[in-house]
Chains A and B, each alone.
Chain A
């Protein structure tokens, strides 16, 4: 818990670092404490998730479900399967919403990227479960009413619509969930674009809401005993409360409280712009280098959707800076932002911070626009009194020299203290994350030529997903432990 208290301290990071005498501030000890905190909280969260599933199934079994499942009668068995899958599906659906609710504990422990990945994986289980729930119940009732198995799937839903309460909303919820699942296949997301996909995805809240009436009116499985009622009510309140609090109220409060406005827009290199945002009391945001916000600007093309963009410098008490490359979507609209434009933020999010550092020496690897969080991390690390000259090594990969955004800043940051900066430019090489002219027989060898012993380092990397996979492989080959490799993948 000490780490949480430290993180939620009301002082800015540099103020904190300045006040702490160097000999008391050991990033390695703090990092180890942070790691053990993450493991403990992670274990607890996973334990609670598993417990919720076990509880749901155990209560179902105890109240006669296990008897129905093995009763030997087809209709009863099918209906019991339908009831059990329905219960598990609701439970998983609620856990899924919780994973996407940007709850700070989940975010700090797993990072936003991994929480959302878990959300995706759960989705691949939940939606098929809902379909099994629907199908087994339709077939089960049909068998009970002695309808033929061929006709049943067609006729029975209509019979249910007429005789069972709240079936219409339940069917609508199922249809919505299927649409959401289909549009979330990677190919579909790419075809639709992030914004349209996101809009469809928000209807998931409607889907869950539409499914509630039939759970209450017919699901005696959800209201049978006081324990069951308290459990479901508690879970619904927890999930709805988290969403409203963390996704709506906190962002709105922060945006109003800190009065954020665009101060300036600067072109860094061709197609790369930095936006300076001015606000008050920003140290209270507790934003750290390596984190990102979802940004919304009160300007055409940037109002309707929040975009996840990383901070490209250490946040100060009255300034934040983000740097964005023109990737087509709405990045271009940023270039036209006028000073004084209102800014709305959600965040800070992400666990890609120096809190994870357990080694004195740090290797920072970036490719392309992935430099933005790396640049911020380099600044925070260089400002840390525990960092000695030469401790930081930055490797910056780009296709050509003129694409090295923020290069001058990185040179300044590294030169003064004798840190190393390697600019790796050249067209992409298949199967390697280095440019073609780099000496060495494989990537692990090339890595060892950059710095003496990578195994003694904490490594932070950011870049395109396929490129990061190559870096990861070579780091593991060079002997860097998995726990010392830190990355965050934003290509969800």
Chain B
């Protein structure tokens, strides 16, 4: 390559790389990229739980931070509580669920985060989530069947749900 072209190319490459580096630094929370092994599959004490008095802030804020630590429970039966499960990493993105409890009864399961590595992943998990929620409400536990075609989402869902229930000592 001739010198002028080579210098021009190097300069342009430098500018592009530096600016994209900067852009990357300011990018928002990313869907997990690359390969990710499902972690926290044991599910024991991987979640966090908080009581939900009306004035309390969104419970997930604490829950996300504390996802690696054993959960803390406030025991005020038969109180309305929520418990947030562990963030489960799958090859197609993170999965995390939150359960609402009345006493020992699971009243609601909400997906905080579902697989989102691509538009296909989003579609798959969006169609699987309602089925998984129904099953969990019916079974009143994390002992639910996998949704075919959405194995990773299902497994992540189950693991995160089990972690949330563990944290609530249920």
Contact = CB atoms under 8 A, between A and B. Distances in A.
Given A43-B2, A46-B1, A50-B9, A59 B34 contact: no
A281 interface: no
Nearest to B120: A223
A169 to B, nearest CB: 14
Interface in B13-41: 13, 16-17, 19-25, 27, 30-39
A220 B118 contact: yes
Given A58-B20, A164-B91, A224-B117, A63 B33 contact: yes
Given A50-B13, A144-B39, A63 B34 contact: no
Given A62-B23, A220-B92, A224-B118, A83 B34 contact: yes
Contact of B34 (A137, A160, A163): A137
A64 B27 contact: yes
B37 A218 contact: no
Interface in A189-229: 214, 217-221, 223-224
Contact of B38 (A58, A70, A163, A214): A163
Interface residues of A, number: 44
Contacts of A214: 35
A137 B35 contact: yes
Of A55, A82, A141, the most chain B CB neighbours within 10 A belong to A141
A64 B30 contact: yes
A237 interface: no
A57 interface: yes
Interface string A326-358: 000000000000000000000000000000000
B33 A221 contact: yes
A65 interface: yes
Contacts of A490: none
A42 interface: yes
A361 to B, nearest CB: 27
A64 B34 CA distance: 12
A137 to B, nearest CB: 6
Given A68-B30, A164-B35, A217-B91, 5 more contacts: A43-B5, A47-B5, A54-B12, A163-B37, A164-B91
Interface of A: 39, 42-43, 46-47, 50-51, 54-55, 57-68, 70, 79-80, 82-83, 86, 137, 141, 144-145, 159-160, 163-165, 214, 217-221, 223-224
